[in-house]
Chains A and B, each alone.
Chain A
Amino acid sequence: MGTGWTRRELMRGSAVALFAGFMGPWGISRRARAAERFRAVHLSDFHWGYRGPWNRHPEASLRAVLERVRGLSPRPDLMLVTGDLIQATPESSQRRERFQQVKSLLDSLAIPWVAVPGEHDTFGDGGAMFEELIGPRYYHRTVGPIHIFGLDNVSRGPLLEPRQVSWFRREIQALSRDSIILVLTHAPLFSLFIPWNWYTYNGTAIYHIMRPYAAKQFLFGHIHQACDREYEGMNRSGLPTAWPLPEPGPLVRLEPWPQGATHPEMGLGFRVLDWQGGRFEEPLVYLEPPVVQEVTP
């Protein structure tokens, strides 16, 4: 448990898994923070446009997840999407269509949202269409009490270009030490499993810049399953809405298993981030519980 790869408690028989995501003390004025409230939803890996056995109806899965988000009370202030909004396609007209469909679906919830690109989103054009239709590849937004940094660690390979790192350093160093900071990336910034590209070659640069800040969290997608890892702060993955992936370990080619036609929603869902009383509570919400419920590294 202590390693915290995934610490899940599943309420058996229900599709809801509650993760008691105690963040630990932030080391900041907690009383002042106690009054602040903020709710975000972390979504990931839609792979909109995918056709095949890994999920026979990825569009239906995304719609089902979004319906659940729509039903949340209190209503989220923000949706965070950590990449792979679409399935890669070499056809630019098809890419445009996929992005537009995902965008209008997300817009239909009337909740502000931000996204970072995944390698499927930047395939074929290095992220040009993502920037045109979705937003910049990397950015800094302030929503309520939270500073949100989106980074691109996929479009140039499993790395962050030096220009992006220096931009990040400048932005971060302009913030006060007690700022609450969420860093969004598609792939994890730490080395979760290098053989499957579940890492960022120079991710340590970001952790280094973030060291002086206590109230921080790193959110990522890409691995299509729940992961909570303490490394230079808390790193958490969002759940996929497309298909689950096996846990890392054996040196085999990374492949999803075929999602049974009868259980297309196994392991899919999202994560809720509630900032309340000076800390985050982060329950996972599954459409259907995953195959692997407890993974040890």
Chain B
Amino acid sequence: MMRSWAMWPLLVLLFWPLHPSPRKPVPAPLPPPPTVQEGARLYHRACLSCHGPRGNGEAFVLMPNGQAAPRLDQLQGTAKTVPHLMQVIGEGRGLMPAWRTVMTPREIQSLALYVASLNPASPAWHGWAGHPRHSTPASFR
């Protein structure tokens, strides 16, 4: 009796490859969505020196004129909105480099999300409308 029970898994394993599997078309892999995590990683490589590790203006290096880059954790009004942040980070301003030249649009989006997240009162980000994996849930529209 015991022996026949033990046979079953073996038989299943043996015949599993013959199990008919419908060939589903494999969807093209989506590009990874922008994330705060990616933004944080990039921030530590590209932004921390001038804006400080906490983004509070406690910079490790000063500008050649002796001034520090502004803090990024108390932005007001539109300055802390993701589209505006993407614009500043991508295009630069004054001594702020234009990161568009060396980063992809997604990386800049991730950085904008991260900087927005440093601001306590910033509205929670509900993703990129239109991005299949991260579209805005209907309840937030």
Contacts and interface: CB of A to CB of B under 8 A. Distances in A.
Interface of A: 87-88, 90, 119-120, 123, 156-162, 194-197, 201-202, 251-254
Contact of A119 (B48, B58, B64, B101): B64
B62 to A, nearest CB: 8
Nearest to A163: B101
Contacts of B63: 123
> Could you say which of B49, B58, B62, B64 has the most chain A C-beta atoms within 10 Å of its C-beta?
B64
Contact of B97 (A88, A156, A195, A253): A156
B48 A120 contact: no
Interface in B30-68: 44-46, 48-50, 53, 58-65
B102 interface: yes
Given A195-B48, A196-B49, A202 B102 contact: yes
B98 interface: yes
A90 B66 CA distance: 11
Interface of B: 44-46, 48-50, 53, 58-65, 92, 95-99, 101-102
A119 B102 CA distance: 18
A159 B61 contact: no
> Could you say which of B61, B63, B98 has the most chain A C-beta atoms within 10 Å of its C-beta?
B61
* Interface residues of chain B: helix, strand, loop or mixed (majority): loop
Contacts of A87: 64
A159 B49 contact: no
B60 A195 contact: yes
* Interface residues of chain A: helix, strand, loop or mixed (majority): loop
Contacts of B53: 195, 251
Nearest to B96: A157
Given A159-B97, A162-B102, A202-B102, A194 B61 contact: no
A87 B62 CA distance: 13
Contact of B61 (A123, A201, A253): A253
A104 B45 CA distance: 39
A156 B101 contact: yes
A249 B59 CA distance: 15
A201 B102 contact: yes
Contact of A123 (B65, B96, B97): B65
Contact of A157 (B48, B59, B65, B92): B92
B64 A120 contact: yes
A185 to B, nearest CB: 15
> Could you say which of B53, B98, B99, B102 has the most chain A C-beta atoms within 10 Å of its C-beta?
B102
A161 B101 contact: yes
A217 B45 CA distance: 25
A159 B50 CA distance: 14
Contacts of B98: 156-157
Given A90-B65, A119-B64, A254-B61, A197 B50 contact: yes
